[in-house]
Amino acid sequence: MASRGPERPTPEAAAEVKAVAKEMWGLGDYDEFARAFVWQFGPELVEACAIGPGQRVLDVATGTGNVALRAAEAGASVVALDLSHANLAAGRASAEELGLELEWVEGDAEALPFEDASFDVVTSSVGAMFAPDHQAVADELLRVCRPGGTIGMINYTPDGGVGDFFGVFVPYLPPSPPGVLPPVMWGDEAHVRELFGDRADLELERRVAIERLNGSPRTYVETYKEQFGPVVATFGLHVDDPQRTASLDREFLAFAKQFNHGPDEGPVEYRYGYLLVVARKRA
């Protein structure tokens, strides 16, 4: 039985958010960003879900294949799905270089184009958490996973630094439609339990990711401004307003200085909390 879940956006509002997201994630250079900052999540999730030969795996909101490529290297048959055509193209190129065969599908985490119970393992690493309708995502992950199969996710937590990171940009963005919850809610244990309800047995573990970058807090800011789609898009909204742009830049740099755990002369180091979710779908 599905959980009632939290407040949800209307289909029209969700479609609008996803249209913006599809364009946003194609900005910058997400593959370069992912390899520098989140690439370690791939093998971590493959290990947590015990992915191996003979399994059929779906990686949802794959980005450029962080988890998908690693699952294929482990011997699984892998389908990688993402909203962004640019991300999928980068993933295909990486797979070709590695001599790996995967299926790359452009699609929506809230309406997965697969039959019920099609996969042994369904994964998402800091990806599906950005979809606007959290309950729809949870329902779809469960629907396409076979009974007894595994759903594995890595989601940033509200209170582990990423909430503060996104808090810098919220005042510079249009307000979210009603029912569109912050992505970091996927890192809240109670929220995850509500989304999955009694349909899965959950193992939840809080962990900390470390991002290191040679240079200063200013280097960190400029890297995000050049590579990370949401940051590129936010600055792009104010390209014709120099004062607004300068204000955002100052606040982002203040964040980068405050949360830097590295030495004064670099390299910079940032620690972000995340929730490892391993869900076993009940029969």
pLDDT tens per residue, range 104-151:
999 999 999 999 999 999 999 999 999 999 999 999 999 999 999 999
Of the chain, the percentage scoring pLDDT greater than 70 comes to 98
- Residue 170: inside a domain: no
The span from the CA of 258 to the CA of 147, in Å, is 46
What does the pLDDT look like over 244-257, one tens digit per residue?
999 999 999 999 99
Q: What is the pLDDT of residue 263?
A: 87
Interval 162-180: pLDDT, tens:
999 999 999 999 999 999 9
Q: Which domain holds residue 59?
A: 11-158+177-213+272-281
Q: If pLDDT is split at 50, 70 and 90, which confidence band does 267 have?
A: very high
Number of domains in the chain: 1
What is the distance between the alpha carbons of residues 84 and 61, in angstroms, rounded to a whole number? 9
Residue 264: the pLDDT is: 75
Please, which contacts does 250-253 make with residues 24 or more away whose CB atoms are closer than 8 Å? 251/168, 252/168, 252/169, 252/221, 252/224, 252/225, 253/217, 253/218, 253/221
| Residue 54: pLDDT band with limits 50, 70, 90 | very high
- Tell me whether residue 264 is in a domain: no
Query: What integer pLDDT is reported at residue 94 of this predicted model?
Result: 98
| Residue 102's CATH number | 3.40.50.150
Asked if residue 45 is part of any domain, the answer here is yes
Does residue 59 belong to any structural domain of this protein? yes
Q: Which helix (H) or strand (E) element contains residue 148?
A: strand 145-156
Quote the pLDDT of residue 2.
Answer: 45
Q: Is the pLDDT of residue 5 over 70?
A: no
